Structure 1
Amino acid sequence: MVWGCITHRGRGPLVFIEEGIKINQSNYVEMLQEHLIPWAKKVFGWDDGTEEYEVEWVYQQDSAPSHKAKETQRWLRENVPDFITVLDWPPYSPDLNPLDYSILGYIKSIACTKPHESVKSLKKAIRKAWDEMPDEIVKRVMDSWLAASKRVSMQKEDILNKFLLLSCFY
């Protein structure tokens, strides 16, 4: 298993999860603390005096059990400027996760052009594809994600407005 993140500012760290490790809320939070936070402080700027990021950012993740666990949600509230909560993120929505619908396909197309004889060889090819992925691809995917997220948000707002309108009649 592998974890990575992307923003308009480029790609973040790529973390390989050891074979046989089942991701739970504790080791997921540990991985975020060890890899996401140092990277985010560097990319978005960190002011030691105010203990705040210089540039606001929002963390988005899917609805995997370790992501929506109470410990994870608490940690995110305490450690990132903002994040999309479990309640605000539609379940089973890989079409809204840029890593799922685009980046992983790109990585596979580069790293898996031929069969690998070992896990080590596969990891090396994945890391090389990730590291050499053009910034323009990441930016284009993030633009697409932002547009899709806005459409979902507008649809959600329309549904909520219709519900509120309907509830006024009862």
Structure 2
Amino acid sequence: MRKRVTMCQWLSDKIDDEPEFLDNMWFSDEAHFLLSGHVNSKNNIFWGSTPPDHCLQRPLHSVKCTAWVAISTHGIIGPFWFEDDDERSLTVNTERYIQVLRKFWVALGRRRGIDRALQWFQQDGATPHTSDRSLEWLQQRFEDRLISRRCHPEWSPHSPDLNPPDFYLWGYLKDRVYEHNPQTIPDLKAAITAAIRAIPREECRRVIENFARRIQ
């Protein structure tokens, strides 16, 4: 709790001191999309007073893809996929995470009106994100403009409710992606990409403004 309060206070002060700060912030995360349509969200927890009578059956190892994005007031960069050359989903590790970061860095440099030397980058405390190699790669490019575990400022643990991909984007996408019941991984990836492309920049700005209200 102390880390969370400290982080929110630092962010609030930064926004007050530098009005353009939020326009230079990129919030990042990855999420699994299962072809079965099952949603396993760490944000959705349901408590009951009695054991449930209904049993939900689902495949133990459903086919999936893993998407990574970064969102800011400028829009969304991504999705980038954790997969092999045959487009099979892979576990996120340091090497694969840095490969995705390289794609993001190139895409960020192609954005009109964006100076990479002014941008901030946020990530949660997942082990591949905060390994020595990952942090070294990020610090070489963002220097001290990095909000993450093992950095200053530090992103507070257990705070998905404050991270725009978690409190907005993943739920929004999963509501829309499964409407047409994709039957293959290429169809699923195409639906995810199309849904992201359809999100207007004005909506991204509203999401980031929502973040600013949440930390108050």
Normalising by the smaller structure, the TM-score range is 0.7 to 0.9
Partner of 2:17: none
Q: Which runs of 4+ in 1 moved over 4 A?
A: none
Partner of 1:30: 99
* Structure of greater relative contact order (alpha carbons < 8 Å, 6+ residues apart): 2
Unaligned 5+ runs, structure 2: 1-65
- Percent identity, aligned pairs only, is 26
C-alpha distance 106-119 of structure 1, shift in aligned 2 (>3 A): same
Offset of residue 147 of structure 1: 3.0
Instruction: Report how many residues are paired.
Output: 141
Offset of residue 86 of structure 1: 0.7
RMSD: 1.6
Matching residue within 131, 144, 159 for 2:210: 144
C-alpha distance 3-83 of structure 1, shift in aligned 2 (>3 A): same
Offset of residue 115 of structure 1: 2.1
Q: How does 1:149-164 map to 2 (within 5 A)?
A: 149=215, 151=216
Unaligned 5+ runs, structure 1: 47-52, 152-170
Q: Distance in 2 between matches of 1:20 and 1:129?
A: 20
Contact (CA 8 Å) 2:75, 2:200: kept in 1 or not? no
Q: How does 1:1-170 map to 2 (within 5 A)?
A: 1-18=66-83, 19-33=88-102, 35-43=103-111, 44-45=114-115, 53=117, 56-81=118-143, 82-87=145-150, 88-149=154-215, 151=216
Q: Distance in 2 between matches of 1:38 and 1:134?
A: 22
Contact (CA 8 Å) 2:138, 2:146: kept in 1 or not? yes
- The residue type equivalent to 1:86 in the other structure is R
Give the TM-score normalised by the residue count of structure 2: 0.61
Give the TM-score normalised by the residue count of structure 1: 0.76
**Secondary structure class of the residue paired with 1:11:** strand
